[in-house]
């Protein structure tokens, strides 16, 4: 971490020079092969929060995740920015997975629950989150703990977002034609663990999540790294799929 007295920009510039030299030393063709094309398997849509840097938490490298992040990972079908990223990633980059990720300790969720006015365009941006909050008011107000209530709102927001994503025409075509998968997840800032909510294409035609259906939805954790995917089930057993 940069010391308070250190210039963060100068630090970032020198860290970048050291990083690029290190990567080139490790693999002399690393950057030149990236310069020719990109073939990321994942489109990541997450919050702008500095504690949820997708490439780092997924153990990925440059070129392995196409990314869109906005405040509170709100998915609005009329937002040209989000929808352009989705359409480009699906139609042209041809990603295999779309991962929508909410997170614990999200200021957008906490502020929405507290009905805090942020001013400017921020309250307009968070309209969708307030709609989700109001639609689930009874469930949310029954949760005593403020942090837990904010996590639940984050989950409901991801659920609403995956519905918008799977309703997108380009996404629907890719699901049908080449098996594109849409996932809803929550990242736990305090543990570093990404949790699969069993939403999106994991939900069957009768509306039941395949993850929930086998009874492990709340306790299942999936950890994806550069070389493999760790899947923790509620039985305490972990399986490792090596890429």
- Residue 16: how many CB atoms within 10 A of its CB? 10
Half-sphere exposure of 85 (CA within 13 A, CB side): 21
The contact mask relative to Zn ion for 11-50 (x = CB under 5 A, - = no) is ------------------------------------x-x-
- Partners of 224 in the beta sheet? 229
For Zn ion, give the closer residue by CB, 111 or 174.
Answer: 111
Q: Is 47 a known active-site residue?
A: yes
Min. distance of Cβ 72 from Zn ion in angstroms?
5
Residues 6+ apart with CB under 8 A from 77: 83, 164, 167, 168
Q: Please report which helix (H) or strand (E) contains residue 15, including its range.
A: helix 8-26
Is 47 a known ligand-binding residue?
yes
Q: Is 51 a known active-site residue?
A: yes
Q: What is the largest CA-CA distance in the chain?
A: 58
For Zn ion, give the closer residue by CB, 106 or 182.
Answer: 106
For 191, the 3-state DSSP assignment is coil
Q: Is the CB of residue 161 less than 8 Å from the CB of residue 74?
A: yes
**Catalytic residue, candidates 51, 97, 163, 188:** 51
Find, among 199, 224, 184, the residue nearest to 102 by Cα.
184
Q: Is 49 a known active-site residue?
A: yes
Is 106 a known ligand-binding residue?
yes
159 binds Zn ion (CB under 5 A): no
Task: Pick from 90, 101, 106, 140 the residue near Zn ion by CB under 5 A.
Answer: 106
Q: What amino acid positions are annotated as catalytic residues?
A: 47, 49, 51, 103, 106
Which residues contribute to the annotated binding site for Zn(2+)? 47, 49, 103, 106
Which residues contribute to the annotated binding site? 47, 49, 103, 106
Binding site for Zn ion (CB under 5 A): 47, 49, 106
């Amino acid at each position: 971490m940069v010391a308070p007295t250190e210039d963060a920009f100068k630090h970032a510039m020198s860290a970048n020079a050291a990083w690029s030299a290190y990567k080139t030393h490790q693999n002399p063709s690393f950057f030149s092969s990236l310069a020719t094309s990109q073939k990321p398997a994942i489109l990541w849509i997450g919050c702008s929060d500095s504690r949820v840097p997708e490439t780092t938490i997924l153990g990925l490298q440059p070129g392995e995740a196409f990314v869109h992040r906005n405040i509170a990972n709100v998915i609005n079908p009329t937002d040209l920015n989000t929808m352009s990223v989705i359409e480009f990633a699906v139609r042209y980059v041809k990603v295999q997975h779309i991962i929508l990720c909410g997170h614990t300790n999200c200021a957008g969720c906490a502020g929405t629950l507290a009905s805090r006015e942020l001013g400017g365009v921020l309250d307009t941006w968070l309209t969708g989150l307030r709609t989700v909050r109001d639609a689930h008011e009874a469930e949310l107000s029954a949760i005593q703990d403020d942090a837990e209530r904010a996590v639940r709102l984050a989950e409901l927001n991801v659920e609403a977002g995956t519905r918008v994503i799977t309703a997108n025409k380009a996404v629907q075509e890719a699901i049908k034609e080449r098996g594109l998968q849409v996932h809803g997840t929550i990242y736990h800032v305090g543990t570093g663990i990404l949790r699969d909510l069993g939403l999106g294409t994991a939900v069957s035609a009768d509306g039941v999540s395949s993850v929930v259906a086998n009874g492990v939805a709340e306790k299942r954790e999936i950890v994806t790294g550069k070389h493999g995917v760790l899947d923790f089930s509620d039985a305490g057993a972990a399986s490792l799929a090596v890429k």
